[in-house]
Structure 1
């Protein structure tokens, strides 16, 4: 006989109430225990998932949590659970990125041509507006009709180098569009309001020294990036340097650009517009490197200082004469080995030629030509226009020159003055500037015997490589 509770009465109704309370208390205890068990299982499951995810990220494969295969046969097909697990593992390890799908080029009719800007050696440039976005762009049509071998290699090089040269001081190639015919190929590039040549011709006064430093730093900075990518421009001149109204300058016109190697391969000597062509090219060098671009930088530097092209030869012979008049004639000490160049064999120096300097230092250009240039600036210009290509600084060395660190410091681009855009008018005024050499031209046989004596070729108005002289 069970013991009777001291709280219970003999009344059966009271005993039933006490029993009901006991059952409710027991149910609450079991419910609490079940809830605790579910929380522990949930926490354990979350911990296992975190460990599996970390193992998948690290490329580790931990032991399976449960058996997925009931057969011991290794050749048995995988079960559905195994396939699902493999799919989840692949999805967790593969990274997917959105990419542009391959497709046809857009048609040129997507652009409304506003006005013609200029014709160059390798294309016609127009100002146009993208009908879809309303943006104003530069539209360059490549010259293909005179290319007997199909698509011109100059156009291929320009497209290839522009796609590789993504730099703030290199013009940006947006896309290539087509016309109705196979030879209607257009390059869509960012539009910039000015080119440096037109600005210099229209300005009453040259740029300030601080502005010249800012312009040079941008041009050489873009060129340093090109050379780091093993790209030579081979036609640097002020008309190929574009500038916007925010003081930003960009290198353009890559029709003559190409990749090079070390040692440099055998290349054509008919590159670079005549006024910016280095002496080794004029004397017939067919192996050269980035030094030809640095000579052009020196010519651009001098043009920024004087507001006029520094060396305006009528033809190759006259160009060599003007170079030697500025720098002095070469000798075995200032330019070792120059006599081995093909066209240097005909040079006849005057009897009163100055004796070679024994100091070994680089001779400076005459200060009378650049009276307002500091000593550091004259030293930089003299090194850029050194006859010996090996004596010219690289683009990286040029950027580190003390000239850019002395007062006045380079002017911030935001402080640059703005100019009315000539490219937005009906047609840019054409200036008498020689064109770049055309691909496929044969290098003429030149006689430099009269460079110091004024005989053959000096002022005869003959046809030079890359352009025909127009007098009058």
Structure 2
């Protein structure tokens, strides 16, 4: 008999790289999940959406019976582990805590690191679905309540040197208690001083700031403020404010609304890279009052401040919260008094048949 024939096979070991030092280290396969719970501790109920880097499900924690949202991190193109985008989102969410930012409770894993889920607090609806399905628009008092919560969340992020980079109504969740939550941090970045270049093609087109469209080399928190202005306009109009079909068309819509920028109002404008390839049409008028004829002067001033062409002159989240628009009638309603919309909750978005199929498909991935 050969020596060692009946000996147990050596334990497999996994090699990982440290996020802080970059050095490689080994861990036993049985410890690969660390303190993470298994995804089998949760029952998936239905698919409720899709984020920048993953599909989102409504699920129930089988131990606590709590309803949660589970975001499956996309792994299709990753041969060597978790994608950087997923790691960024996990790292950011684990280190921030604010009532207006979706809370990452924990990370759950499947039988291998090829199945990773972010377990987050569950919110009953998102603003995009509500705007699509509401019979009557939000009142101005309700709009103010929503926007104040958005600016409070942004104020926290920006004070912690985080740019969200993908603000839009579908990434803004609303609980049944009227609490707004900023979600989907798949494109979010930490930044430092001096600001380093980032990928310019972020932020969904309709919410994209002009400096991104014109390929400025640096991105600041001002891109989130521009997007917040687009959200405010959309809530007031009950339809997208700047629904561009292409980057050129998006710029044309911005110019129709605000007029054509120049170096006087935006120093360095004429040297932006994209302007080497085309010339913007000339339109000298600011048409915000035409788009929002019922809005008070304070409301128009706030929109103008949010839509400053020069990112350095654009409002900050803190300055936006101090706007007189929020202290004049109609005053923002209390979050608890926001209407609830049980007919538009996430759980209603999937039929029973498609729900069972979705669970079966996901089970095969785990």
Normalised by the size of structure 1, how large is the TM-score? Answer: 0.65
Aligned to 1:465: none
Aligned to 1:313: 244
Inter-partner Cα distance in structure 1 for 2:161 and 2:316: 13
How far residue 149 of structure 1 moved from its aligned partner, in angstroms, is: 5.3
Q: How does 1:279-428 map to 2 (within 5 A)?
A: 279-350=210-281, 354=284, 364-420=286-342, 421-427=344-350
1:411-468 superposed Cα distances (whole Å, 9 cap, x missing partner): 011211110243112529xxxxxxxxxxxxxxxxxxxxxxxxxxxxxxxxxxxxxxxx
- Relative contact order, higher structure (CA 8 A, sep 6+): 2
1:118-167 superposed Cα distances (whole Å, 9 cap, x missing partner): 12331010100010111000011011112355321111111111112100
1:115/1:425 contact within 8 Å kept: no
Aligned to 2:354: none
Inter-partner Cα distance in structure 2 for 1:272 and 1:349: 21
2:259/2:286 contact within 8 Å kept: no
Q: Does 1:247 align with 2:247?
A: no
How far residue 340 of structure 1 moved from its aligned partner, in angstroms, is: 1.3
Given the superposition, is the C-alpha separation of residues 182 and 346 from structure 1 closer, same or farther in structure 2, using an over 3 Å criterion? same
Given the superposition, is the C-alpha separation of residues 367 and 178 from structure 1 closer, same or farther in structure 2, using an over 3 Å criterion? same
Q: How does 1:40-55 map to 2 (within 5 A)?
A: none
1:336/1:388 contact within 8 Å kept: yes
Superposition RMSD in Å: 1.6
Q: Does 1:235 align with 2:154?
A: no
1:365/1:378 contact within 8 Å kept: no
Inter-partner Cα distance in structure 2 for 1:374 and 1:338: 30
Q: Stretches of 4+ moved more than 4 A in 1? A: none
**Any stretches of 5+ residues in structure 1 without a counterpart?**
1-101, 355-362, 429-472
Which structure carries more strand by proportion? Answer: 2
**Any stretches of 5+ residues in structure 2 without a counterpart?**
1-32, 352-366
Task: Give the alignment partner of residue 269 of structure 1, picking from 189, 200, 209.
Answer: 200
Q: Does 1:176 align with 2:107?
A: yes
Match of 1:297, SS state, is helix
Q: Which has the larger radius of gyration?
A: 1
1:16-55 superposed Cα distances (whole Å, 9 cap, x missing partner): xxxxxxxxxxxxxxxxxxxxxxxxxxxxxxxxxxxxxxxx
How far residue 103 of structure 1 moved from its aligned partner, in angstroms, is: 4.4
Match of 1:409, SS state, is coil
Given the superposition, is the C-alpha separation of residues 367 and 353 from structure 1 closer, same or farther in structure 2, using an over 3 Å criterion? closer
1:291/1:389 contact within 8 Å kept: yes
Match of 2:107, SS state, is strand
Given the superposition, is the C-alpha separation of residues 419 and 345 from structure 1 closer, same or farther in structure 2, using an over 3 Å criterion? same
Given the superposition, is the C-alpha separation of residues 267 and 130 from structure 1 closer, same or farther in structure 2, using an over 3 Å criterion? same
Aligned to 2:93: 162
Task: Give the alignment partner of residue 69 of structure 2, picking from 134, 138, 141.
Answer: 138
Aligned to 2:47: 116
Task: Give the alignment partner of residue 105 of structure 1, picking from 7, 30, 36.
Answer: 36
Match of 2:138, SS state, is coil
Aligned to 2:362: none
How far residue 197 of structure 1 moved from its aligned partner, in angstroms, is: 0.6
Inter-partner Cα distance in structure 2 for 1:410 and 1:364: 27
Inter-partner Cα distance in structure 2 for 1:133 and 1:340: 57
Match of 1:215, SS state, is helix
Inter-partner Cα distance in structure 2 for 1:266 and 1:119: 27
1:364/1:379 contact within 8 Å kept: no
Task: Give the alignment partner of residue 196 of structure 1, picking from 127, 130, 141.
Answer: 127
2:44/2:60 contact within 8 Å kept: yes
Inter-partner Cα distance in structure 1 for 2:134 and 2:349: 20
2:45/2:60 contact within 8 Å kept: yes
